[in-house]
Structure formats: structure tokens, C-alpha cells
Amino acid sequence: MPIVDIHTHVYPPSYMELLKSRSTVPYVRSIPPTNSPRLFVLPSEDPPSTTSTGRPIGPEYYDISQKIAFMDTHNIDISVISLANPWLDFLHSSGAAAAAEALNNDLSATCDKFPGRLFAFGALPMSASIEEIVSVIKRLSGMKYMRGVVMGTSGLGKGLDDERLNGVWAALEETGQTVFLHPHYGLPKEVYGPTGGEEYGFVLPLALGFPLETTIAVSRMLLSGVWDRYQGLSVLLAHSGGTLPFLAGRLESCIAHDGKLLREGKIANRRTVWDVLQKNILLDAVVYSEVGLKAAVDVAGADRVLFGTDHPFFPPLEKNVEQERWPSVTTNYKAIKDAFGPGEMEKVEGVLGGNAVRLLRLEV
Ligand code: URA
Ligand code: ZN
């Protein structure tokens, strides 16, 4: 059974040029003393209100041969690559659709260089008109290596419970494409303390802000009835659904006890989060512990959880020739193996790759 990485990012060379040309987030800048390029990407890193010095960024982000080398080192047979955050969300509406088309062509050409090893989630021009977004979705559905779209939580600027997105969900459902829902915007930095938590590096926004952002976004989709209207819409949640597996019971209980929803007739005849988790939501296995992985498997089923790495984020901090394999990856491999019993090898193989091959139709 092949090993498939469904959570693995790229910034293609053209996107890198764009990042280098900018001075607000997202941007790349070389700063002394090393003068090596650094990535400033999170909203909290926007100047002048930040003390962030960014993160190192090198060819592992844009040189596809480094992705393939990483795959070989970690025994990964197939990768489903996606543009990293914040995708094309920040582009002006006028050029966004053309930029998405160019980027998707670029991703497609990259996949074509390694047939059978690379597939992709395309990017959407979320600042463009609905018609333009839908037209990109329709075009992606005819592209050989595309299996869906990567999307942030901002939608058209007002979140994913925005009714204006109906046409987008309908087009994705109709064309059988999976939405890879990924965080970027986090929580307001005030929740991390008076300094916004910068004294703790990126720990609070990445460990907690990202998963909570995803949890809130998907809860709003559920509450607004997205999956009542689009019962075939498939959404793959980054980081094992944020905290959704843990909080699903509380979410259901709060819905069942909400007087406003009851008065508005929104409690009866709705699909529960449990039902949606088992039929529409796929969870990646990027959660770094057996406890989190077991929760993901409990709510979605072992046949709907999919291995990922988040490469090239979270590289080893200390370069050590002895230690070629990335701890961020081996931790997730170990969590998958530990979450299942000795007689459950089939489930392990499913999470490592079989589920992705089946659900994303990964044959050339
Ligand atoms: N940091 C990011 O900005 N994005 C990721 O996907 C992971 C870490
Ligand atoms: Zn990611």
C-alpha cells in the first residue's frame, strides 16, 4: 500500500517572486546579520506592530526536487501538494482570477514532471467574483492532477457561513472536488496577552490559534446549514479538525440547548456534527499524538483519516546529518502506528495512504 502525504505545501517560484516584491504580510525579506531570506506570513507579523523576525525560507518551499527528496527520505510515494497560506486571499480582486489560473497551470505542470508521484489541490481567487471563483473550480475539475482546492477560513471576507458562497459549494459538490480547509488567520493576538504572545515565538498562534480557527470556521459552516444544503460536499480539515473531534459533543449540546435556534426552527431537521463528521468531513493525521489521532479516528472513522506532513513547515531546528528524517514527520508516523492495535494493520495502511488513494482517486 502506498504512503500518501495529503498535507504538503509549496510556494511556486512565481509566488516567491510575489512575496519578495511585497512589504506587508505575506512577504519575504532578507535581514541582517545572516541576510538569508525570511518569511513573514501570519497576520500578527505585519509591520510595524510586530517584533517577529519571521521564519527561514529556502528552496524547500519552491524547488520541487527538494519535495521529491523529502518524500524519498520519508518513504512517501505520493504527495498531494497545495499552495501554502495565505494562498491568493490578499490579491486585489481585479487580477485574482488570472493569478489563480496561472498558479494552477504551474502546479499542474509540476505534477506532470513526476507522474504518479504528485497530485494537487488548486488555489481559488477568493477576492474575485463568485462567477470567477466558480469558473476556476470548473476548470480544475478537468485538470489531470487536480483533486480539489485548498481554502482558508475567510471565504469572501466574511467567513464560510456566508450565503454568497452557495455557488462555490454547489460547484465543488457537483464536480466531486474535495476542499482542503486550512487555517491562516488565527485568533486576535490580544488573547495571547499584552504583547500578543510574541515572547513565546510562534507557539501560541500555531499550536492553538490555527486549530481553533479551523474549529470555529467548520462550526459556522455546520450552523449555517452548509451540509444540509450540500449533502455531498467533502471537506478535508487540516490538523485533524483543530479541536472539533474533542468539542463535537459540546457543540451538539449547545445547539440542542439554544433558545434562539429553537424559536427559529433550526434545531429539528438538521444534520448533526456527528453525521457530517462521518459522511462529509475527512481529517488529516497531522496532530502529533496518539491521543489526538484516536479522537480523529473515533469521530470520522479509520477510513476517513489521512496522513500528512505539513512539509516544508516545521523542519528540524538543528541541522544534523545523522538525523535526516524530520521529527515533525516521525512523530505523526508513530502516532498512527500507536493508535491502532496489533491486528489493525489494515487501518494503519488506510490512514498512511489507502484512504487517500480511494477518496481522492489517486491514479494517473
Ligand atoms: N505555519 C504556517 O504558516 N503554515 C502552515 O501550514 C504551518 C505552519
Ligand atoms: Zn499546512
Q: What is the residue whose three cell numbers read 474533542? A: 246
Task: List pLDDT tens digits, range 95-149.
Answer: 999 999 999 999 999 999 999 999 999 999 999 999 999 999 999 999 999 999 9
**Average pLDDT of the residues in 86-98:** 98
pLDDT of residue 285: 99
* ipTM of model: 0.96
Q: According to the model, what pLDDT value does residue 47 have?
A: 87
The C-alpha atoms of residue 173 and residue 134 are separated, in whole angstroms, by: 11
Out of 5, 19, 309, 310, mutate this one to test ligand 1's pocket (max ligand atoms within 8 Å of CB): namely 310
Q: In percent, how much of the chain has pLDDT > 70? A: 99
Q: How far apart are the first and last CA of the chain?
A: 16
Residue type present at position 109:
A
Query: How far is ligand 1, taken at its centre, from the CA of residue 313, in Å?
Result: 6
Is pLDDT of 246 > 90?
Answer: yes
Tell me the C-alpha distance between 284 and 236, whole Å: 7
Q: CA-to-CA distance for 157 and 173, rounded, in angstroms?
A: 22
pLDDT at position 341: 93
318 confidence band (pLDDT: 50, 70, 90): confident
Place of cell 451538539: 252
**For ligand 1, atom 5, which residue shows the shortest CA distance?**
313
What's the 205 CA to ligand 2 centre distance in angstroms?
13
| Topology of the domain covering 4-359 | TIM Barrel (3.20.20)
200-227 mean pLDDT: 98
> 176 is written with which cell numbers?
466531486
Task: Compute the distance from residue 57 Cα to the ligand 1 centre, in Å.
Answer: 12
Q: Residue 362: what pLDDT?
A: 98
For 168, the enclosing helix (H) or strand (E) is: helix 166-174
Cβ of 310 closer than 6 Å to ligand 1, yes or no, is yes
Q: Where are the domains of the chain?
A: 4-359
- What is the Cα–Cα distance from 88 to 117, expressed in whole angstroms? 25
Closest C-alpha to 51, from 201, 153, 248, 240: 201
> What is the number of the ligand closest to the CA of 121?
2
Contact 239, 284 (CB under 8 A): yes
Q: Report the SS3 class of residue 56.
A: strand
Q: What is the pLDDT of residue 49?
A: 81
Tell me the mean pLDDT in the region 176-194. Answer: 97
Identify the helix (H) or strand (E) that includes residue 136: helix 130-141
Q: Is 221 left (phi over 0), alpha (psi -120 to 50) or beta?
A: alpha
Q: Render pLDDT for 258-291 as a digit per residue (tens, 0 to 9).
A: 999 999 999 999 999 999 999 999 999 999 999 9
Packing angle of the helix pair 130-141, 93-112 (nearest 10 deg) = 10
Q: Which residues surround ligand 2, an ion (CB under 5 A)?
A: 310
34 contacts: CB under 8 Å, gap ≥ 6: none
Find out whether the beta carbon of 160 lies less than 6 Å from any atom of ligand 1: no
Residue 321 pLDDT > 70: no
Model pLDDT, residue 323: 63
- Does residue 203 carry a pLDDT above 80? yes
32 has a pLDDT exceeding 90:
no
Q: Is pLDDT at 157 greater than 80 in this prediction? A: yes
Describe the chain by its helix, strand, coil percentages, rounded to 5. Answer: 45, 15, 40
